Amino acid sequence: MRAVIKIGGHLLSTTEDFKYVLSLIRDIVELVEKNEKFKLAFIVGGGSHAREMQKKAQELNLSNTVTDEVGIIISRLNAYIISNAARDMLEKWGFKVRTKVICSIEEFLEDMNVYNVFFAGGFIPGQSTDAVASLIAEAMRADILMFLTDVDGIYDKDPKIYADAKLLKTVKVHDIMSKILSEKMAPGAYKPIDIQALKIIERSSIKCIVVNGKAKDNILNALKGLPYKG
């Protein structure tokens, strides 16, 4: 199996959140047939801490580029903590783990055939960690790209605002892109996946699953090919 898991920053607000993510990583790797073809990459978002620090950067009138870089640094810090916390467990099971956080697609390509497990945060200003996950999935030729979010999947409209929002079991990437573009990327518009990521997913025909990051059993079912909510 070759899989890329995007861990939303909302899952990393507290120490208990980090412990949950580590337990999830443990359960995911237990599913994997351990062979040379196995590849697993965890892409980590910045979360509330990144937004808090980015707000400070904005209040100090720093540029958008610097503000983006603040978020990238924090996402990489999150990934660094998780990679090192998970290293002993993964290496004990025989996995080759790149604990040094991937900072560019070139780094990933250079080491793709050296390690089994990778961790990454953001890459460059103006690019989301959704896009990073999609780029790595494309380079890896992943069997699956999974986004762990704070809702149960992709809806016809924002479920945090509309109580009657309907969960879509399947949806075409083109349809999501059309909806996002029709709303002209307005602030607060419903964007379940970043538009850059969607373009990569579409051009490479990557199988993509969006699920609630807190529903561990559901996540594992999706990876095992069993029925799941998402």
Tell the burial category of 198 from Cβ atoms under 10 Å away from its Cβ (0-12, 13-18, 19+): buried
State residue 34's pLDDT score: 62
What pLDDT sits at residue 177?
Answer: 79
- Non-local (6+) Cβ contacts of 34 within 8 A are 93, 94, 95
Residue 218 pLDDT: 95
Q: What is the pLDDT along the chain (230 residues), one digit of tens a residue?
A: 899 999 998 899 899 999 999 999 999 988 876 656 789 999 999 988 899 999 999 999 999 999 999 999 999 999 999 999 999 999 988 889 999 999 999 999 999 999 999 999 999 998 999 999 999 999 999 999 999 999 999 998 888 888 898 998 888 888 887 776 666 555 445 678 888 999 999 999 999 999 999 999 999 999 998 999 98
CA atoms within 13 A on the CB side of 102: 26
Domain spanning 2-224: CATH 3.40.1160.10: yes
